[in-house]
Amino acid sequence: MREALESHLDEDAARVRRILWKVDLRLVPMLSLLYMWAFIDRSNLGNANIAGMSEDLKTNVGNRYSVLAMIFFIGYCLIDIPAAFIARKVGPALWIGVVGTLWGIITLAQGFVKTWGQLAVCRALLGFLEGGLVPAAMYLLSVWYPRYNIHVRIAGFYVIGNFSSGLSGLLAYGIEKMAGDSGYNGWSWIFIIEGIVSTVVGIASFFILVDFPEKAAVKNSLGLPGFLTPEEAAIILARIEHDRGDAVEDKMNFRIAMKHFRDWKLWEFSAYLTLNNTALYAFSYFLPVILKDGFGYSTGKAQVMTFPPYCVGACWIMAVSFIGDHYKIRGPILAFNCLLYIIGVSMTGYATNVHTRYAGVFLGVIGIIGNVPTQWAYQHNNMVGQNKKALTMACMVMGGAFGGIISGNIFQAKDAPGYRSGLWICIAFQIVYFFLVCKNFVIFYIQNKRADRGEIIIEGQPGFRHTY
């Protein structure tokens, strides 16, 4: 890396593009595919519920369904902080491959449960395993890409995952027609078929995913050969070092961790995930129910009509990611998407015309999923240090899990079919989110100006400036 820094090999734009293309092909599609099936496996609960599960397992009694939606995130929280550091220790290809394969098996097992209690156990295990993906994946992406190349890559990772929320409905619509085959109802086949696919994807990730840049030219944790030459790996590391000065892993101990925990940004970025994911999972888990019972759609139509909003949302994610990287902005995108969500959910909850309410679903979905990759890029752009970012990412995923727990509790069966109390809480959370981001416009502007005058050094890195 020292030779690459001194010779400025990382400034050869054409060569860098060729290297990044190799990295992109090995990293982004595989992570995206994993996240897509992870998202399908966690959100198919809503599809299964209206495909006969509620009658067979009596999940419509009391708040059983809300408990099933919530319990997933308990295990999800427990693994978040260890996940990024375990991936660093054993290698991401090994760690992500193991958890991906195991959660596929658990998803498949859900198709054979006989009681809602057995399903609850499976959901808790599923959350524990899926919780190991996102911190490791975000950490892996962060060490490969500079600050203003990252938004598009994170968007590529998330766009397929969130797109899958809609795809889940289409898959469920087709799979549930297998009802009666081999004596299993349609909801069982949803879990079985999707679990098989997840297991296959998890096994494939062992062989496709790459480890960290400094190991890209040698055998990985599974003994597979490196995919870059030593010089190519050095160029990647030099780009990171020039961009933010943390290409080399920094040390971590209890005292340093406590110092990181005192940074207010760690807690605020984690709060973003709580505020955003409350609304995000509200759509994932309860949109099929709202469409069926609130809009009066048939089960089949409710499954299918979950797809178009997420299809449009996928396009929106990529559009705002290109804008964010090109203009080097994050905050304005976050604030604008908050407003879109508030308008859309207000239409869905309170308009009288069904078509207007469904139009509100589009605005709400594109607003809430548009902020998912942006808030990760916002964190990536405003913190320095591999371990500090790994700790922050883990806390952010925990914050997102808390959002899922909140979502499962605020949408109560007694509020069906409109769930207006839950929608109001989601709107309030987005208002808080909006003002938190706007506050940072002022704070980051002042700190950047002070750094320009030489009064402070931001993040302990000379020349580093906040992105807002």
* Domain extents in the chain: 2-244+253-460
Quick: pLDDT tens for 44-62: 888 888 888 999 999 888 8
Would you state the pLDDT for residue 23? 92
For 208-256, the DSSP string reads H----GGGTTS--TTSPPPSS-HHHHHHHHHHHHHHHS--SPPP--HHH
From the centroid of its chain, how far is CA 307? 18
Through-space distance between the first and last CA atoms of the chain, rounded to whole angstroms: 30
What is the CATH code for 2-244+253-460? 1.20.1250.20
Does pLDDT of 90 surpass 90?
A: no
Q: Is residue 360 within 8 Å of 348, Cβ to Cβ?
A: yes
- Predicted structure pTM score: 0.82
Quick: pLDDT tens for 118-142: 999 999 999 999 999 988 998 889 8
User: Using CA atoms, how far apart are residues 304 and 289, in angstroms rounded to an integer?
Assistant: 12
Closest CA to 43 of 383, 328, 284: 284
Closest CA to 305 of 338, 348, 369, 251: 348
Q: Is residue 72 within 8 Å of 121, Cβ to Cβ?
A: no
Q: Is residue 126 within 8 Å of 103, Cβ to Cβ?
A: yes
Out of 109-123, 270-284, 331-345, pick the least confident: 270-284
Q: Is residue 271 within 8 Å of 436, Cβ to Cβ?
A: yes
Would you state the pLDDT for residue 437? 98
Could you tell me which residues come within 8 angstroms of residue 337 by beta carbon, excluding any fewer than 6 positions away? 320, 366, 367, 368, 370, 371, 374
Q: In the chain, what percentage of residues exceed pLDDT 90?
A: 42
- For residue 225, the tally of other CB atoms under 10 A from its CB is 8
Q: pLDDT-derived band of residue 22, with 50, 70 and 90 as boundaries?
A: very high
Q: Counting Cβ atoms within 10 Å, is residue 339 exposed (0-12), middle (13-18) or buried (19+)?
A: middle
Q: pLDDT-derived band of residue 225, with 50, 70 and 90 as boundaries?
A: confident
